[in-house]
Structures are given as structure tokens and as C-alpha cells.
Chains A and B, each alone.
Chain A
Amino acid sequence: EVQLVESGGGLVQPGGSLRLSCAASGFTFSIYWMSWVRQAPGKGLEWVANIKQDGSEQYYVDSVKGRFTFSRDNAKNSVYLQMNSLRADDTAVYYCVRALGGNETWGQGTLVTVSS
């Protein structure tokens, strides 16, 4: 069964850091672009970042550029989102997505809350 399982969400203070993980199973992980998409409470979907199959290229929405880092470990079938300098408007459910717009699969999401 194709599956993506996110973890690492939680409550963090403004200015703090958090690292999200997404573990993949049931498919050949290394051949797919991966993405993060987030959704603030009661709001719409927002594309956050993409990473190439070998991790050599990453692309970010302007609002997280310089604060978030998207990485992957193909040996562990996992991707990671390191989030620094977190702000209240980063509060959202973060979804890990395989091949967004293609042969895609979504995780169930992990909630990140930035609040003092």
C-alpha cells in the first residue's frame, strides 16, 4: 500500500524551530519529486516547496524562502522540512505529497501551531 506518514508537528513559540518528517512506503521513493503543501485553519491550500528526486534542487514559496529547508534521504525513504524563525502565520496543517499534479499521494497531515 502506498503511504506517506508525517510527524513532528506540535506547538512552538514564535521565532522557534521545528522539523517535520515524512516517511514513505509502498513505492519506489527515489524516482519521485516530493512536495509540502500547507493549510492554515479555515483557509485554503498553499504550495510550500518541491524537491527533486535526488535532492539536488529545491524550490520554495516566497513566504518561507530563507527560513525553511526541504531535504530528503532516499536511503530512509523520507523527506524533511526544517522550519526556522517560525511565525504565527506558519500555523497550518502540513501535508507531504508525492508527485503533486501527477501520480500523486497525500499524507494525512501534521499540525504545526506557532503561538506564545
Chain B
Amino acid sequence: SYELTQPPSVSVSPGQTARITCSGDLLPKNYAYWYQQKSGQAPVLVIYEDTKRPSGIPERFSGSSSGTMAALSISGAQVEDEADYYCYSIYNSGHHGVFGGGTKLTVL
């Protein structure tokens, strides 16, 4: 089966740029999606199709992708951005999905 790999944790100071990576062999062919999940809440999509931001998501959230790695960047990270972040992609002609293991972002 297919796997996406994320670092378990990332830590930044308020106002700095946080960057969370996601690696997967099929990312050159398939989009990456990024989710934010705060404790006790359902996940929220913050980036779709590698680089696009849904309405209502702050501009400080951005996505990029190159080769087998996708990345989520949060410029000027705020304390409220502390959360778990998951990348997601598809495989098997788009019929199957897979999440990365998740990255805990600490802003302090």
C-alpha cells in the first residue's frame, strides 16, 4: 500500500514561518491536500490541489509541491495555529485515499 510521510512535530515561535513537509512517491502525479485538526474537532481543509486555499482560510496558509514532496507553510504563525496537520493524497486511479501520519505544530 501507499504511504505519506510527515515529521511528527514542528515547533516555531509566534511570527515565524512554519513549514510542514509530506513525502510520497506518487505526489508527482497526484495532488496533495492539507488538513488542520484542533483538539476534539473535525479536520478542516486548509489547502487543496497542492496550492489552493479554500475560502475563509487565512492568507498566511500556503502550499507547494515539488517532485515527491509537498509542503504546507504558515507565514507569521500564530498561537491559534497550534494544531495537528495532516496531508492527504490519492492513488489507484484516484479511488483510494491515504493520510500522512500527522504533524503536531507548536507555536510558542
Interface of A toward B, CB cutoff 8 Å: 35, 37, 44-47, 50, 57, 59, 61-62, 95, 100-102, 104, 106-109
Contact = CB atoms under 8 A, between A and B. Distances in A.
A84 to B, nearest CB: 21
A100 to B, nearest CB: 6
Contacts of A109: 42
Contacts of A37: 43, 99
A contacts with B: majority SS: loop
Contact of B88 (A47, A57, A95, A108): A47
Contacts of A59: 92, 95-96
Given A35-B97, A62-B1, A100-B97, A45 B45 contact: no
B contacts with A: majority SS: strand
B95 A47 contact: no
Given A100-B97, A106-B43, A109-B42, 15 more contacts: A44-B100, A44-B101, A45-B43, A45-B86, A45-B102, A47-B96, A47-B98, A50-B97, A59-B92, A59-B95, A61-B96, A95-B42, A101-B31, A101-B90, A101-B97
Q: Which of B33, B37, B95, B101 has the most CB of A within 10 A?
A: B95
